[in-house]
């Protein structure tokens, strides 16, 4: 869930939630100085790193979802591009240098205010290992992906589609929206467009 923003970041007084004049939705507005605090989704950037038919996965050393597996990914920083951020996260979490190959998935997750931008990438130099945020890092055959122990739903959808694309020897670029209804997740509005041949 998206947390409330109780205090004004300009003056420290309390915010109220109301629709500012001329706008169409509620915002956090400072009750003292009137500053409107616009809040927008955060970008999570990451890589599905390939080496032959195998994919690089990290087991998380930090919360949330410590002990669970994921692809290298994290919040995009100010001042960097999405591809640079995805490569940076891969170096930090998996000590792996990669070449970005193609965009792979863009999944919006409106209920937590995030958007995932996932790239296919090629492992360079064949070197990897656990960074400070990982317990272990492994190159896994698709059959060995721990589906029941993946940390994040968006990553699970990306890996499921990746394995499907691998089997079909045709990579696509996927877009969609991860929603949560009645405690269950679903990938809605999924579109997968071909984007080159599997290598």
Nearer to Zn ion, 32 or 62 (CB): 32
Please list every residue from 30 through 49 that binds Zn ion, using CB under 5 A.
Answer: 30, 32-33, 35
The answer to whether 11 contacts Zn ion (rule: CB under 5 A) is yes
The answer to whether 8 contacts Zn ion (rule: CB under 5 A) is yes
Q: In the complex, what is the shortest distance from the CB of residue 28 to Zn ion, in angstroms, rounded to a whole number? A: 10
Q: How many residues at the interface with Zn ion, by CB under 5 A?
A: 8
Nearer to Zn ion, 37 or 170 (CB): 37
Nearer to Zn ion, 13 or 136 (CB): 13
Measured in whole angstroms, how far is the alpha carbon of residue 54 from the centre of its chain? Answer: 20
- Classify burial at 141, counting beta carbons within 10 Å of its beta carbon; exposed 0-12, middle 13-18, buried 19 or more: exposed
Q: How far is CA 72 from CA 69, 92, 119, in A?
A: 10, 8, 10
Nearer to Zn ion, 26 or 136 (CB): 26
| Residues making contact with Zn ion (CB under 5 A) | 8, 10-11, 13, 30, 32-33, 35
């Amino acid at each position: 869930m998206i947390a409330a923003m109780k205090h004004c970041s300009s003056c420290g007084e309390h915010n109220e939630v109301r629709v500012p004049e001329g706008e169409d939705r509620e915002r956090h507005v400072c009750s003292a100085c009137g500053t409107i605090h616009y809040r927008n989704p955060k970008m999570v950037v990451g890589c599905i790193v390939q080496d032959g038919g195998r994919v690089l996965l990290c087991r998380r050393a930090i919360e949330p979802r410590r002990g669970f597996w994921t692809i290298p990914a994290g919040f995009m920083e100010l001042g960097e591009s999405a591809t640079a951020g995805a490569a940076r996260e891969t170096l930090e979490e998996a000590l792996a240098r990669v070449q970005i190959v193609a965009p792979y998935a863009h999944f919006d997750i409106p209920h937590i205010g995030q958007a995932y931008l996932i790239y296919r990438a090629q492992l360079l130099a064949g070197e990897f290992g656990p960074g400070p945020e990982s317990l272990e890092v492994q190159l896994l055959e698709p059959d060995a992906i721990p589906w029941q122990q993946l940390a994040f739903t968006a990553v699970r959808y990306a890996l499921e589609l990746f394995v499907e694309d691998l089997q079909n020897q045709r990579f696509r670029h996927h877009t969609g929206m991860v929603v949560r209804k009645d405690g269950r997740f679903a990938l809605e509005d999924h579109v997968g467009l071909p984007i080159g041949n599997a290598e």
